[in-house]
Amino acid sequence: MIHKYKQLGLNIVMDVYSGAVHVVDDVMFDMLDHINEPFTAEDACPENVKAALGDKYSDEEISESYAEICALAKNGQLFTEDCYADIAKNWNKQSVVKALCLHVAHDCNLRCKYCFADTGEFHGGRSLMSAEVGKKAIDFVIANSGNRHNIEIDYFGGEPLMNFDVVKEITEYAKEEGKKHNKNFRFTITTNGILLDDDVMAYINENMSNVVLSLDGTKETNDRVRYRVDGSGSYDAIVPKFKKLAESRNQDNYYVRGTFTAYNADFAKDVIHLADLGFKQTSVEPVVAPETEDYALKKEHVETVCAEYDKLAEDYVKRYDEGRGFNFFHFMVDLDQGPCAIKRLSGCGAGHEYLAVAPNGDIYPCHQFVGNSEFLMGSVNDGTLDKDIMTRFERSNVYTKPKCADCFSKFYCSGGCSANAYNFNGDINKPYELGCEFQKKRLECAIAVEAHKKLG
């Protein structure tokens, strides 16, 4: 399967099953419209292809281009056939748990309008995780991680800084236990920044491999949806602290992470604003919300949002060329040494490799499922884990999602977020369509950006 498109002035051809990406001239780009799969190389360019292109290109150009297409196909770089279906059919992943999202605080000092966590409560009342439960979660992941050396702990909420003493206690405990059990713990924390101070920053810099800082863009954009209990916006309080933290981490190993909604479907300006503030690591993602909410993104926004990604890609490479580039998470793609095919088939790991732990110790497939009793998998308090739910997630992969079969993006998104699929379509194997539209556009932009960087 191939996918061809034009972006940033380049003709791009993706060979889906080999992962090859080509930049081609107009002759080859047009020729590929007239070649069907499965491809069989012929000694000379077929007459029907010649006839279709004869008015536009010379015989020599057509012959050369066809020969090059044949050579690429022979090298396994074009029209590569699917060799992963059998792997997926015999899928027996036997996962181990290697990452936990610890909900250390089901409470928050902001009341963000779009909060999927019900402004911190996760539909279960405000509560904080105790150090005791947190330590049991560490014991749980050590016991369930098999031979995995690298283990990730993500402190999440609500707002984790509302329970920072416990964060520190859990972190110190994990470091000690990691040494005993030959596990390398990596910690990340997500925060809205309100409670960030010098001491907290110092501890984060010393211990956290990544920190996610929530900020949506301009003051107007941010404060419209990210406000405190009294309704006042958060922008002025957090931006100076985020700048300081980003600088203290040498502008690396952090993300300023925002959400865009129907209120700012023209979100490219918000990403650029983050870059203008000096942030080098950014991520701004579409809100996922039921259509009944007035801030929800809907089908009617697809055209605008896709045009914004195009616009952002243009600005992005312009800044890169001018030596003032920055990273936008969804435009980052490693064409050479990205994840292996197995990882691309299986996706994010939610429900089997990655689990979320609520303040009371209850285990869910991921942070998005917390509070949904249908997905309660067990508890770190007694070490129970529902293998049926685990298997359901483990078995889900690109090939269990019929909608992904003909999609060029499938090995870049692994069929998307299970929680979104379940929340919109009642089935973790039925991807959330709006998310797919955005994902495909982002991927096209990401690959074009990478092509631009490589070709100069």
Q: Which of 220, 285 has the CB closer to other proteins?
A: 285
* HSE toward the beta carbon, residue 60, CA cutoff 13 A: 0
**Cβ 85 vs Cβ 399: under 8 Å:** yes
Shortest distance, position 271 Cβ to other proteins, whole Å: 13
Residue 37 vs residues 73, 398, 416: alpha-carbon distances, Å? 11, 21, 26
Smallest distance, Å, CB 283 to other proteins? 4
Least CB distance to other proteins at residue 230 (A) = 26
Instruction: Tell me how far, at minimum, the Cβ of 333 lies from other proteins, in Å.
Output: 5
C-alpha torsion 306→312→317→320, nearest 10: -150
At its nearest, how many Å lie between other proteins and the CB of residue 196? 18
Cα 38 to Cα 12, 41, 190, 231, 334: the distances in Å are: 20, 10, 47, 59, 28
Token pair belonging to 190 = 């997500």
Q: What minimum distance in Å lies between the beta carbon of 284 and other proteins? A: 10
Rounded CA-CA distance 316/308 in Å is 12
Residues in the chain: 456
CA distance 191 to 140: 25
CB of 447 to other proteins, least distance (A): 8
| Distances in whole angstroms, Cα of residue 267 to Cα of each of 216, 234, 239, 258, 335 | 9, 19, 18, 10, 26
Of 195 and 333, CB closest to other proteins: 333
3-state secondary structure of 211: strand
Judged by beta carbon, residue 49 or residue 417, the one nearer other proteins is 417
Residues 6+ apart with CB under 8 A from 113: 224, 225, 226, 227, 261, 295
Calpha distance 173→180 (Å, rounded): 11
The minimum distance between CB 309 and other proteins, in angstroms, equals: 13
Nearer to other proteins, 113 or 344 (CB): 344
Q: Quick one: 161 or 417, whose CB is closer to other proteins?
A: 417
Q: Which is nearer to other proteins, 72 or 275 (CB)?
A: 72
Contacts of 407 (CB under 8 A, 6+ apart): 436, 440
In the bound state with other proteins, the residue whose beta carbon lies nearer, of 198 and 278, is 278
CB nearer to other proteins: pick between 26 and 294: 26
Q: For residue 133, count other CB atoms closer than 10 A to its CB.
A: 22
- Pick between residue 36 and residue 337 the one whose CB is nearest to other proteins: 337
Cα–chain center distance at 76: 28
Q: CB neighbours of 60 closer than 8 A, spacing ≥ 6?
A: none
- Minimum gap (Å) between residue 288 Cβ and other proteins: 5
CB of 194 to other proteins, least distance (A): 18
CB closer to other proteins out of 63 and 109: 63
Q: Which residues pair with 13 in a beta bridge?
A: 4, 22
Please give the sequence-ordered ranges of beta strands (E in DSSP) within 178-320, or none if there are none: 184-191, 208-214, 254-260, 281-286
